[in-house]
Structure 1
Amino acid sequence: MKILECVPNFSEGRNRDIVEDIISALTEVPGIRLLDHSMDPDHHRSVVTFVGFPEEVVAGALAACNRAAELIDMRKHEGGVHPRIGAVDVVPFIPLADAEMSEAVGAAHRFGAMFGVRNRIPVYFYGASALSPDRRELPDIRRGGYESLEERLKDPKWRPDAGPALFNAQSGATAVGARIPLVAFNVVLNCSDLKRAEDVARSIRQSSGGLRHVKAIGVHLKSRGLVQVSMNLTDYRETSMRRVFDEIQARAGLLGIEILESELIGLIPQAALDGRSPEYFKLKDFSDRRILENCL
């Protein structure tokens, strides 16, 4: 059975009515199964996870993302700590079960073309769906954020892969990709010093010479008066949650800081836990429903 997972990220984490409207548009599509959704006011971001057959997933992504493009205004988006380039910031397609990566790539390309044209939003393809090597990595596409997008679009090098090469002030741009399942993993430190979280993030992320397949930033959680190391583990098979957690614990310990708790955004494959219990990672709000295989 060929199943695709889709995990769109929206630049809205504070207005529950908007997020529920987006989810409602998604769940009205026949064949879509909603697995998870979350809102984060500090990141000012929502993440939705759903699965279905390939064409159903493309239809569901269009329904949800079209609604988000109508409701979210990037001109009013401020105070979030997460990098973003648009209202519909990133839309990855992930092959599951018997689906091949080529089918996720096809879904990404079909979705991106239709979404960009309908909403007049520039679309960039990343990951396995990238059309050029310099767009394969998501951080390269998001560098400079929404605020730099108008100027970047004047550069022929940054002509979008789909949609118009015009700045859409309300919606910004969207990155659409195909990839394997990743682990969105955040670790909260028991301190309020952002520089310490940034130092820990710098020490573990691949781009700074740290662990392979780890993207990490330090962020301030204003609502809690704490700091967090926010991460994407893009290949948990090579760099596991356990290795990352142990490294953060060691690095934080050298700074005299303890890990308060950690959290997952969305679902993870069972193997990502690397045989450890949720308690090992100090995971909050964890249940068996956070394991991807248990939901399929």
Structure 2
Amino acid sequence: MNKIVECVPNFSEGRDKEKLERIVDEIRKQEGVKLLDYSMDRDHNRSVVTFVGEPDQVIEAAFNACKKAAELIDLRTHKGEHPRMGATDVIPLIPIKNISMQECVEYSKKLAKRIGEELNIPVILYEKSASRPEREDLAVIRKGEFEGMFEKLKQEAFKPDFGPDKPHESAGVTAVGARMPLIAFNVNLNTNNIDIAKKIAQAVRGKSGGFKYCKALGFELKERNIVQVSMNMVDYTKTPLYRVFQVIENEANRYGVNVVGSEIVGLVPLNALVDTADYFLKLEDFSYDKVLENRIYGD
């Protein structure tokens, strides 16, 4: 049976649609790969692309997209709310079907080696592929962003796994690794007070005493004159969306503001939404087997 890997590269371009289309075209034209989704965020100045396929084809598409991004994106002039260190900021590989996490780790190393050697971009392995414990967390690697990488890579703890020992002058540094599926989940608040968003992000963030499987930051959405609690839910089965949403709503009320909406960036497992519906609707004796599409299409 075919092995299926998901790849969700993040590119530091969220305002120039033509540039993003040229990057995504490198994925579209790769035989054996299916483009599932891509989206741009102007405030974050960042795009997220999702595609799947057999491992070798996925690696080829990811490499070509990274190469095109390095040609088109110059971080020396890049500004946006979201932290970034590379034109292609991060490339995660996620095992979907008939492939193990360890196999994805090996494929991530293969991809990282090509990027480092052929594109002259330093690559740091992260998550399950990390070569040392302090590199597992992407936020730790990316701290200091592009501008700080020129000094950071001089530290032994952050010496690149592949490629040169200093950032590419315009494309920066790229993180590559294998990980489990995560959900990029954002909650918007009807205030422009960034301190409120940051305090709420701190309340739900695992590292600051919140939910273990939640990573969170507070951002301004200047075009909408509101703020956002932006999260990566790294294990929705242990920290469900509805639980974090309720805490954010309660915390917002403490500060006299309201939740005005939420969003999923990229794709989301159906079970995460079914669990949320089950919780808020207080469904009795409900299970995933009662979802119509599940009965039609099976697994």
Q: TM-score range by the shorter chain?
A: over 0.9
Q: Note if contact 1:240-1:274 (Cα within 8 Å) is conserved in structure 2.
A: no
State the aligned residue count.
284
Mark the structure with the bigger radius of gyration.
2
Q: CA deviation at 1:52?
A: 0.1
Shift, 1:166, TM fit: 2.0
Aligned to 1:288: none
Q: Displacement of 1:69 after TM fit?
A: 0.9
Q: Please give the secondary structure, in 2, of the residue aligned with 1:215.
A: strand
**Shift, 1:253, TM fit:** 1.3
Residue in structure 2 matched with residue 107 of structure 1 by the alignment: 107
Alignment partner, residue 58 of structure 1: 59
The CA distance in 2 between the partners of 1:138 and 1:56, in whole Å, is: 25
1:216 counterpart SS class: strand
2:221 is the counterpart of 1:221:
yes
C-alpha contact (below 8 Å) 1:189/1:260 kept by paired residues: yes
Say whether 1:178 aligns with 2:174.
Answer: no
Residue 285 of structure 2 corresponds to residue 271 of structure 1? no
Q: Within 5 Å, which residues of 2 pair with 1:196-235?
A: 196-235=196-235
Match of 2:131 in 1: 131
Match of 2:152 in 1: 152
Match of 2:195 in 1: 195
For 1:219 and 1:180, the matched residues in 2 are separated by 25
Partner of 1:89: 89
Find the counterpart in structure 2 of residue 285 from structure 1. none
Give the secondary-structure state (helix, strand or coil) at the position aligned to 1:106: helix
Deviations 1:97-154 (A, max 9, x none): 2221012111111110001111111100001111111101111100111110011122
**Which contiguous aligned blocks of 4+ residues in structure 1 show a shift greater than 3 angstroms?**
none
Name the residue aligned to 1:257: 257
* Residues 1:155 and 1:276: Cα distance change in structure 2 (over 3 Å): closer
Separation in 2 of the partners of 1:30 and 1:96? Answer: 19
1:11 partner letter: S
TM, length-normalised to structure 2:
0.91
Tell me the equivalent position of 2:169.
Answer: 169
Q: Could you list the runs of 5+ residues in structure 2 that have no partner in the other structure? A: 281-293
Partner letter of residue 62 of structure 1? F
Shift of 1:185: 0.3
Verify: 1:48 aligned to 2:49, yes or no: yes
State the AA in 2 paired with 1:153: L
5+ residue gaps, structure 1, are 281-290
Q: What's the CA shift for 1:204?
A: 0.5
